[in-house]
Amino acid sequence: MRPVLLSGHERSLNQIKYTPDGDLLFSVAKDKNVCAWFTSNGERLGTYHGHQGAVWTVDVSPNTRLLATGAADNNVKLWNIKTGECVKTWGFPTAVKRVEFSEDGTQLLAVTEKRMGYLGTIVVYDIRYGEDLSDQTDEQSLRIECERSKATVAAWSYLSKYIIAGHEDGTVSQYDAKSGELLLDAEVHDDGYQVNDLQMSQDRTYFITAGKDKQAKLVTCRDLEILKTYKADTPLNTAAITPKKDFVILGGGQAAMDVTTTSARQGKFEARFYHKIFEDEIGRVRGHFGPLNTIAVHPQGTAYASGGEDGYVRMHAFDKPYFDFMYEVEREQARR
Amino acid sequence: EDRYAVDIANTAIVEERRRLLEEWDAWVRMVKEDVKAEREELGIPDPKEELELQRIRSAASEEEQVVE
């Protein structure tokens, strides 16, 4: 599994996203830049300039016309993917940590940071795809205030029925996506250990969370029931579900400033593969020189990419042994 | 005797995996059906099918251009 190294960022990566057809990969980092890459050869298609602070989050609309970004400059920006121009900016009183389009692309959610005098919020905008992409509303269609514990991540469920949010205190909550009403709250991660990532399955009926408590959990959207637990030996920053194969990929690592003894693992920060159903760790992929901050899986399940604290994005195409790997009971089932 | 104990343990693990796999498949099937029913009831199209339709249409329009 020979990786393609994407070097274009000068600081640590925060989030990466594939387009729905997997042709492009978008990356955002602390260096204020948004990069677009061709996944076929790793060449850079372009850079989107405009944010004045670390860019925390990125998402692609399902029709691949718009890119949304959220940053430490307290802005959410919409970009015309084809032309690279910024078509809309929404300002907030605090930084924006997560953005995500709903499954049909008609809505965008944004998670805003908590700060003295401001509660953390989740806001929603309706998105238009007319001839003129800059024709967007200034009105929020929904605003949820997180009073107990701020949201760190959020995502849309199937049918855009729920907004699922992960919080600073380790809980996960389910909101009605129309009314904003809090419907359910679940202690998914250890108390006080932040949820760092939350990624939906392709059909958005369940999701995976990555926690600072060194665990990743597979949870249902409908009732926030914990289906599976994946245990690691390091705080987790990111977790992704692979289509085609029943695996999950986890990424994390102790940040250098948190390591008390000299680390013998330098250059050996790993993406960890677990079997989604059996919860066993089945393999690791080395390469990064710092913790893995973000992992994304190609929508067709043919590749994955990771972004690290080291400023690199590594793209890996899955090879034959990956697809051939099967537990005996899976083989048995496949034969039936 | 040791070998016998190992065999028993292995059998138990395989049995457990078989159970987990069946349980997972049953859950996925149930949820898929429920969401499909809910989708139809709400009249919300399946985004995957929509994407496929889009692909077919754009391919068809390209073909038309060639004919012209």
Distance CA A225, CA A160 (A): 19
Structure token digits, residue A253? 């690592």
Within its chain, how far is the Cα of A320 from the centroid?
26
* Position A289 pLDDT exceeds 70: yes
* A277 near B CB under 8 A: yes
* A187 near B CB under 8 A: no
What CA–CA distances, in Å, run from A29 to A66, A69, A98, A118, A308? 19, 11, 13, 25, 10
A159–B44 CB contact, under 8 Å: yes
A103–B24 CB contact, under 8 Å: no
Domains, in order of start, for chain A: 4-335 (2.130.10.10)
Helix (H, G, I), strand (E, B) or coil at A149: coil
Do A242 and A248 meet the contact criterion of CB atoms below 8 Å apart? yes
Least Cα distance to A132 among A75, A35, A65, A69 occurs for: A65
Min Cα distance A106 → chain B (Å) is: 12
Do A308 and A16 meet the contact criterion of CB atoms below 8 Å apart? no
A196-230 tens-digit pLDDT: 999 999 999 999 999 999 999 999 999 999 999 99
Average pLDDT, rounded, for chain A: 94
Chain B nearest-CA residue for A20: B51
Residue A119: what pLDDT? 94
Query: Of the candidates B14, B27, B35, which has its C-beta nearest A329's C-beta?
Result: B14
Q: ∠ CA A195-A210-A166 to the nearest 5 degrees? A: 30
B11-23 tens-digit pLDDT: 899 999 999 999 9
Helix (H, G, I), strand (E, B) or coil at A15: strand
Measured between beta carbons, the chain B residues lying within 8 angstroms of A335 are none
A225-279 tens-digit pLDDT: 999 999 999 999 999 999 999 999 999 998 765 555 545 455 579 999 999 999 9
Do A293 and A310 meet the contact criterion of CB atoms below 8 Å apart? no
ipTM given for this complex? 0.89
Residue appearing with tokens 């107990």: A148
Distance CA A112, CA A93 (A): 8
Structure token digits, residue B27? 């859950």
Min Cα distance A66 → chain B (Å) is: 16
In chain B, residues 9-68 whose CB comes closer than 8 Å to chain A: 14, 17-18, 20-21, 24, 27, 31-32, 35, 38-39, 42, 44, 47-48, 50-51, 54
Query: Of the candidates A63, A103, A329, which has its C-beta nearest B17's C-beta?
Result: A329
Query: pTM here?
Result: 0.93
Pairing of strands A195-200, A24-29: unpaired
Of A293-297, A329-333, B63-67, the one with minimum mean pLDDT is B63-67
Chain A nearest-CA residue for B42: A159
A121-147 tens-digit pLDDT: 999 999 999 999 999 999 999 999 999
Q: Helices (H), strands (E): how many in chain B? A: 2, 0
Distance in angstroms between the alpha carbons of the first and the last residue of chain A: 31
Residue A264: what pLDDT? 46
